[in-house]
Amino acid sequence: MGEDTIVRFRKPDSVRDGLTELLREGAQRLLKQAVQTELEEFLAARAQQCDEYGRAAVVRNGHLPERCVLTGIGPVAVRVPKVRSRTDERAVFRSSLVPPYVRKAKSVEAALPWLYLRGISTGQMQGALSVLLGEQAAGLSAPVVNRLKLKWQAEHRAWCERRLDADRWVYLWVDGIYSGVRAEDQRLCALVVMGVNERGQKRFLAIEDGVRESTQSWREVLLGLKARGLTEPPRLAVGDGALGFWGALEEIFPHTRAQRCWVHKSGNILNYLPRSLQGKAKGMLHEIWMAPTRTRARAAFERFLETYQGKYPKATECLQKDRDVLLAFYDFPAEHWVHLRTTNPIESAFATIRHRSDRAKGCVSRATMLAFMFKLALAAEESFRRVKGFPHLAKVIAGVRFVDGVENSEDQPASCVIFRSSMLRSL
């Protein structure tokens, strides 16, 4: 075989991506310009300050040593200017884009919990990131990642103690997210509470651990929320059929109405039916909770019972026992129904947690898993949109009655009208 027929492959480290290099160079120039703009604004704000000889009090004074900041497109070199003040030693220029001692962008740090949840261990993190970030990923070794995990755990503990009384929480979604982590002989379950405030913003309120979904565990969570400022009972709570939460809710917030999740309920019902009938049964269940009025929902409800009660009594009993709490959403604005029928807001945010649970095989500590779930929750919150029809939340708070999703203005107390008007003006 001749020399000219041999194909030589370069090592991955030696492969240069022209586009990435171009982007990195452009990012470096933009960063330099942005920091320079920050400096000019800093100096302009102090342009009138002079020393005793009439000279400018604050002047440029070279640069700090160059350092590389690890970003999503690799390391970007930056030199932050320095200033000197002739009158005030406290006048120090600090860039908001490149704060002191920062060595990696927040986007890189945010990627770490996602990699971990996808099954990348701390020992493999450096190799996984080096493909994207190059040699600078050496700074993300296992000890560094472990220190970050401890930081996230501290942030989670502080987050669990923050006050909630700045907002009025109208609806709650609750769910238990099971993981592969074990405590003694039982799987641990993260008890998650999400709320929506009077402005229609969805926020996680609690992510706490518990053994199963017991009444005592949920009681502790709800009492914690109450102690942090959630003293006004929410109008509606949405959850699955876990008896623990509903028992605790009746004790702590007895005036909060209950709405069972239709996705969980449908799954429970279909488990009692043979696979050959599940498609048709699922369609009939869909007709119930998608009906435009409670009357039509009840009619579809009865059709399902008549169809399956004879041969599959367990399936119909599973549906029948929660008739009222499955249809509670009809007493709230129709625009909110899409949010109130299921616990999907929580389920979708924590879908990836199960990937990590399957891969971890129970070897992740409880504190670590909760910290990562907390980071996932904060990342998910950034993409949350306000609930549909959020102006109606003021009416719900004021006690306005809704019939089949439509406001019933008859016999409304005058106090409701006044409160509703003030709430609408504040939105």
Note the pLDDT of residue 130: 53
Q: Which long-range contacts (CB under 8 A, 24 or more apart) does 267-271 make?
A: 268/241, 268/318, 269/315, 269/318, 269/319, 270/315
Residue 201 three-state SS: coil
Question: Tokens in use for 31?
Answer: 């960063």
Position 418 scores a pLDDT of 46
Mean per-residue pLDDT, 284-295: 96
List, for residues 106-139, the tens digit of each pLDDT value. 555 555 555 555 455 555 555 545 544 455 555 5
Query: What's the pLDDT score for residue 144?
Result: 59
Average pLDDT along the chain: 79
Q: Catalogue the long-range contacts made by 306-310 (C-beta closer than 8 Å, 24 or more residues apart).
A: 308/273, 308/277, 308/281
Mean pLDDT over 184-191 rounds to 70
Segment 298-308 shows an average pLDDT of 96
The token pair at 360 is 């971890």
Tens of pLDDT along 335-392? Answer: 999 999 999 988 887 775 555 544 444 446 777 778 878 887 887 888 888 999 999 9
pLDDT computed for residue 34 by the predictor: 76
Q: Average of pLDDT values for 49-59?
A: 84
- Which of 68-77, 258-267, 292-301 has the lowest average pLDDT? 68-77
Residue 14 pLDDT? 43
Nearest to 366, CA basis, from 153, 111, 160 = 153
Question: What integer is the mean pLDDT of 134-158?
Answer: 69
- Higher model confidence: residue 239 or residue 14? 239
**150 Cβ contact list (under 8 Å, min separation 6):** none
What mean pLDDT is predicted for residues 86-96?
Answer: 77
More confident position, 78 or 324: 324
Beta strand ranges found along 162-201 (DSSP E):
169-183, 186-197
pLDDT at 59 over 60: yes
pLDDT of residue 276: 95
pLDDT at 56 over 60: yes
Closest CA to 137 of 77, 73, 80: 73
pLDDT higher at 47 or 423: 47
406-408 and 401-403 beta bridge pairing: antiparallel
Q: Measured between alpha carbons, how far is 289 from 300 in angstroms, rounded to an integer?
A: 9
What is the model's pLDDT at position 132? 44
User: Counting Cβ atoms within 10 Å, is residue 112 exposed (0-12), middle (13-18) or buried (19+)?
Assistant: buried
Query: Is residue 216 over pLDDT 70?
Result: yes
Structure-token pair, residue 331: 């007493």
Distance CA 393, CA 122 (A): 44
Contacts of 121 (CB under 8 A, 6+ apart): none
- Using DSSP's 3-state secondary structure scheme, residue 98 falls into coil
pLDDT at position 2, please?
47
The one-letter amino acid at 208: E
The whole-number pLDDT of residue 9 equals 38
Residue 170 has pLDDT above 80, yes or no: yes
CA terminus-to-terminus distance, the chain:
78
Model confidence band, residue 7 (pLDDT cutoffs 50, 70, 90): very low
Out of 39-53, 126-140, 181-195, 211-225, the most confident range is 211-225
Mean pLDDT is highest, among 12-16, 137-141, 398-402, for 398-402
Question: Distances in Å between the alpha carbon of 257 and those of 61, 74, 151, 173, 410?
Answer: 65, 51, 38, 12, 22
Residue 162 or residue 17, greater confidence:
162
pLDDT of residue 141: 53
Type of residue at 194: M
Q: Residue 333 pLDDT more than 80?
A: yes
pLDDT confidence of residue 55: 86
- Helix H segments across 198-293? 215-227, 243-252, 262-270, 275-289
Could you tell me which of 417, 378, 413 has the C-alpha nearest to residue 394? 417
In the block, tokens 């022209």 appear at 18
What φ, ψ does residue 202 adopt, rounded to 5°? Answer: -90, 130
- Non-local CB neighbours of 143 within 8 Å, separated by 6+ positions: none
pLDDT of residue 85: 84
How is residue 56 annotated by DSSP?
A: B
Q: Of the ranges 7-11, 84-88, 118-122, 174-178, which one carries the lowest mean pLDDT score?
A: 7-11
Spatial separation of the C-alpha atoms in residues 219 and 234, rounded to whole Å? 16
